[in-house]
Amino acid sequence: MRRSPNLISPVDDPAGIVADPLVESRLFHLSSRLSVSDDGGETFRPNGGGADLRHRVLWIHPEDPRLMYGGTDRGLYLSRDGGEHWSRMGGLPVGRFTHASVDMEVPFNVYGGLERSGSWMGPAYGWEEGGARNRDWMEIGSDDGYGMLADPNDPGHGYMVLGDGDLIRFDLQTGERKRIRPWAPAFTGLRLNRDVPISLDPHDAAAIYYGSQFVHKSTNRGETWQIISGDLTVNDPAERREAPGSGADTDDLTIDAGNVDGPEAEGGATITSIAPSSLDRDVIWVGTDEGDVLVTRSAGGEWQSVRNRIDRVPDSSWVAHIEPSAVRPGSALVAFDAHRTGSRESLIFSTDDYGDDWERVGRESNLEGIVHTVVQDAIVEELLFAGTDQGLYVSLNRGEDWFKWTHGLPLVPVRDLVVHPRDHDLVIATHGRGAYVLDDIRPLRELAGDLRIAEVELFLFPPPPALIRSTQVADRDGGLGVDVASQRQERPAGVPLTYWLGSRNEDGDTRDDDQDRVGDVGDGQPRVTIELLDFDGQVLRTFQGPGTPGMNRVVWDLREDPPTPSGLLGQFSNAITGTDDDWVRSIEVLPGLFTVRISREGAESLRPLEVHEDPRVDVEMVDRINKYQAVKSGLDLDARLRALRAAITSVYDELERVNDVLRERGLAGDMALLQAGQALGDELRQVSDFENVMKYRPGVLGLTSSYDKPTEGQRLDLIRMEEELDGLTLRIGDFLILDINLFARRVGDAGLDTSFFVGPIG
């Protein structure tokens, strides 16, 4: 195929050629723009409106070529007219994150650059039912998204790197977007990796680092810069390799960012990672696309290359990530990417002496795939997380052994990992499936700190502090799909309870075929009892969890057990969990101290638990207690009401059954008994008129929609509902004792079963 002068997309960024399954001469060229040829590739013309840039894949229906699906950098598109017009298929989580960062808001926000899709910010979890909505996410930058850093001390402020290496400081409150990229020295061009590394100084909130072939540092949020290194790259034109990007693309991998007086920058020879130590303000680690690792112990005064001390790293590798230890001075982890050599090895190396000596991490383990990032826990150094092109891996012994994390995470490349310093959640930035949040890694941290936990029969990990969330009802969009919910599993309301179970197998195996499962009870018979106790030791809630050997997690929704009516109505308590409406069935606990107790076959484990109020809700505790007592009374009344309705329904059903038997049997005297039964049914309908009770029910159950003390109207609704329910219960009870039981004796005399009739109620 010769290059056509009418070719819309340059051939230097080809994604492929796709042939029409029915028309031999028709070809589609996938590139920055979709183009089509009707003459076997001699000429091309633009094809399709409405589809985004960078077509990556195209599927054409084998029998109807008018139907097409196209995959682009921004998602999936559908065409029904052979590619002339395209519409985007919304709601698919296909974001290609390159980096992630977090702030200290409640809930904390996740910031991230998305390849070809801008720079974004959104909450880790939402305040609405069903999770975060589209409107909860904000696009901060519309260019290619790469590095993003949230200011840890100033919510809504931060930095982002755009596709041309521009560094932008943003203020979400004012909308400010200020360009602060450093200038090059006189007569020198800056060589920038396509994924320019930036880093915050852990010792100075106003300091930021930026990498070219130099290390640039600003101590005033980018207003002015100084270069604290020489050219840290080899920059040998004879040996220069094309610089790496953040993805599989090979175009625009380096950028000429020189000033107008400087010479044109050559490709390659760039810094790919800058990692200042959180333990020593003078220690900074740097990695390059030439595979070099450098360290300064004098804040940039002198730099030392330690690459030659690392064995078994293929030539043409580049440094993907450097992770200085937050626990041990002089210690660091370095991940290399060697895929340009054809190698897909997992290359992680560690040092404990500022790079003088290195060891390969996890060489003989089951760590798989090119490593893009590695994170060491800031509290327990044995706990490591690695993001590879095969997913997320976890080590509990400082990299000696690894296991793949598959709970809720698909097989997708992981590009960045961030542990939230306050919430201890792990943010997982993937290249193709958006971002994930692994709630509360502290159980893994405790297990890594003491592997003997895996040998015990039953161990309850300390639960995190719980937050009572005042969850809003999600806005309705009228069915128009204007504001769909994010495609994700929302964090359950409540607190995760994580526990370890030893195996009960005779062979002593501590795991079974379901060893990696962390989740709900499922369909199997639960074997673990979980109880929540108040400050006085009273059991508030009891439920069961999975008995699977290994690590398990359940969620307590911060509610007590539903109330159970006393007396004969208690036998109908199972009926009160029905789905006749959406009202709350059990009361939410007050903020305070609780105890979690988990037990199985004589073994038990206890932990304290703190429950905090919603930080957005400012209500005095005395008013909360008044509301709690009112809600508790209202739910007790509602449980009585629903049990009474269930009892009446049971009597109706059994009367109908007796009447059916009498009709079919047709013995002498059955007709009179049948008529008596039908009359009783009509009378029971009149006696069991719930209308006066039900009219107060919405007001009483509406008590659950706020936290402050009840209004006068709500208190009156509560009193009147109780009065009406007491009166109705008395009338129905009298009817059952006198009329129904008398009928039951007649039915028994007629030789029919009477055990189904309800006794005295009240």
Token pair in block for residue 632 = 């508790």
Of 71, 88, 105, the position where a domain reaches its end is 88
* AA letter at 493: A
- Could you tell me if 501 and 563 lie in one domain? yes
Q: Which residues of 405-424 are buried (b: 16+ CB within 10 A; e: fewer)?
A: beeebeebbbbbbbbbeebb
Q: Are 575 and 646 in contact (CB under 8 A)?
A: yes
* AA letter at 622: V
Whether residue 551 is contained in a domain is answered as yes
- Could you tell me if 604 and 648 lie in one domain? no
The residues, ordered by sequence, that sit 6+ positions from 616 with a Cβ below 8 Å of its Cβ are: 470
- Could you tell me if 28 and 69 lie in one domain? yes
Q: Dihedral (C-alpha) 91, 119, 53, 62: value to the nearest 10 degrees?
A: -30
CA angle, residues 531, 533, 539, in degrees to nearest 5: 70
- Could you tell me if 745 and 625 lie in one domain? yes
- Could you tell me if 743 and 626 lie in one domain? yes
- Could you tell me if 693 and 591 lie in one domain? no
The dihedral sign for the CA sequence 227, 230, 236, 240: negative
Whether residue 140 is contained in a domain is answered as no
- Could you tell me if 732 and 630 lie in one domain? yes
- Could you tell me if 627 and 607 lie in one domain? no
DSSP H or E run through 675: helix 670-687
Give CA–CA dist 598/605, Å, rounded. 5
* CATH classification at residue 21: 2.20.25
Cis peptide before 591, with omega less than 30 degrees from 0?
no
Percent above pLDDT 70 for the chain: 83
Whether residue 627 is contained in a domain is answered as yes
- Could you tell me if 587 and 626 lie in one domain? no
pLDDT of 496 strictly over 60: yes
Whether residue 434 is contained in a domain is answered as no
Give CA–CA dist 639/645, Å, rounded. 10
- Could you tell me if 630 and 585 lie in one domain? no
- Could you tell me if 605 and 647 lie in one domain? no
In total, how many domains does the chain have?
Answer: 3
Domain extent for 73: 16-88
Of 549, 578, 612, the position where a domain reaches its end is 612
The residues, ordered by sequence, that sit 6+ positions from 82 with a Cβ below 8 Å of its Cβ are: 65, 66, 68
Whether residue 659 is contained in a domain is answered as yes
Pick from 136-150, 252-266, 400-414: least confident: 252-266
Q: Which of 457, 447, 596 is nearest to 529 (CA)?
A: 596
pTM reported for the whole predicted model = 0.84
- Could you tell me if 598 and 664 lie in one domain? no
The residue ranking higher by pLDDT, 470 or 231, is 231
Give CA–CA dist 317/306, Å, rounded. 15
Q: Dihedral (C-alpha) 369, 102, 96, 250: value to the nearest 10 degrees?
A: -70
Pick from 215-229, 530-544, 598-612, 639-653: least confident: 639-653
Of 61, 88, 115, the position where a domain reaches its end is 88
Token pair in block for residue 20 = 């029409």
Whether residue 603 is contained in a domain is answered as yes
Token pair in block for residue 727 = 């009166």
Tens of pLDDT, residues 46-94 = 876 666 667 788 999 999 999 999 988 778 899 999 988 888 887 788 8
Residue 516's pLDDT band (cuts 50, 70, 90): very low
* CATH classification at residue 503: 2.60.40
Whether residue 313 is contained in a domain is answered as no
Q: What pLDDT sits at residue 481?
A: 39
Whether residue 78 is contained in a domain is answered as yes
Q: Which of 240, 195, 193 is nearest to 213 (CA)?
A: 193
